[in-house]
């Protein structure tokens, strides 16, 4: 994920003056006019996230100090429950986000510009697939829009339940198995790129960690991965 600063000398936070939490981490600073972009570089059959790196010693992400998180009770796996079609529901943090196709201009997978939406990698498992890994990615925040749908992704805890729905509105429940940070310098966590084959899994990715600046460009040091298994 790569972040671009629209003002090299920003004086205001990113359009949300009442929210001074750092994105997806317990450490950091107020983010100032940041464009957060999840970018995936596709080369033939292989793919690597631009700026999205991994670490072998991943650590769980703590909530931000001083911020009280009120997570909802975990729902049981629903049977034949209908939702708004093509939706990611992060029930523990009270967020629902439309799922749209992530575009791939010049081989780079890019989430929707609207930070309240998230994008699905079309070469991964589809939302109604019985096998494989569905990969969803989204912006953490955006100049002029404030916090994205995935801003609080890093506060979700293992064991909690999130949901997706397919084009018919059929709901699928997922139990979160891990939420980790991955330093961008350490390489991609390849399991999120498993595609349509293998065990049924969900991966959701956004930016996080410390915000760093170089030559007027802001870049988060880490990315945040949420992993979840199908509930049956």
Residue 168 inside a domain? The answer is no
Residue 170 inside a domain? The answer is no
Residue 133 inside a domain? The answer is yes
What is the pLDDT confidence band of residue 179, given thresholds at 50, 70 and 90?
very high
Residue 196 inside a domain? The answer is yes
Residue 232 inside a domain? The answer is no
* Residue 200: burial class (beta carbons within 10 Å; 0-12, 13-18, 19+): middle
Residue 209 inside a domain? The answer is yes
Contact 36, 223 (CB under 8 A): no
Residue 80 inside a domain? The answer is no
Residue 126's domain spans which residues? 2-68+99-156+180-222
In this predicted model, which residue has the larger pLDDT, 142 or 31?
A: 142
Q: CA 187, 95, 226 angle in degrees (round to 5)?
A: 25
Contact 135, 47 (CB under 8 A): no
| Residue-averaged pLDDT of the chain | 73
Residue 82 inside a domain? The answer is no
> Which of 113-127, 146-160, 209-223 is predicted with the least confidence, judged by mean pLDDT?
209-223
Number of domains comprising the chain: 1
């Amino acid at each position: 994920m790569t972040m671009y600063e629209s003002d090299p000398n920003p004086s205001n936070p990113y359009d949300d003056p009442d929210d001074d939490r750092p994105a997806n981490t317990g450490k950091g600073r107020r983010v100032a006019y940041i464009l957060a972009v999840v970018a995936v570089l596709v080369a033939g059959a292989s793919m690597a996230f631009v700026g999205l790196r991994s670490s072998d010693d991943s650590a769980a992400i703590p909530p931000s100090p001083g911020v009280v998180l009120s997570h909802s009770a975990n729902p049981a796996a629903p049977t034949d429950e209908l939702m708004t079609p093509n939706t990611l529901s992060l029930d523990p943090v009270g967020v629902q986000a439309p799922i749209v196709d992530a575009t791939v201009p010049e081989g780079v997978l890019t989430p929707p510009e609207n930070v309240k939406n998230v994008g699905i990698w079309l070469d991964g498992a589809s939302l109604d697939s019985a096998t494989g890994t569905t990969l969803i990615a989204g912006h953490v925040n955006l100049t002029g829009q404030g916090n994205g749908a995935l801003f609080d992704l890093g506060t979700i805890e293992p064991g909690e339940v999130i949901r997706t729905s397919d084009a018919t509105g059929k709901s699928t429940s997922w139990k979160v198995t891990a939420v980790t940070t991955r330093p961008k310098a350490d390489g991609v966590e390849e399991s999120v790129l498993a595609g349509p084959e293998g065990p049924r899994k969900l991966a959701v990715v956004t930016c996080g960690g410390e915000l760093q600046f170089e030559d007027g460009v802001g870049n988060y040091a880490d990315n945040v991965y949420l992993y979840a298994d199908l509930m049956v």
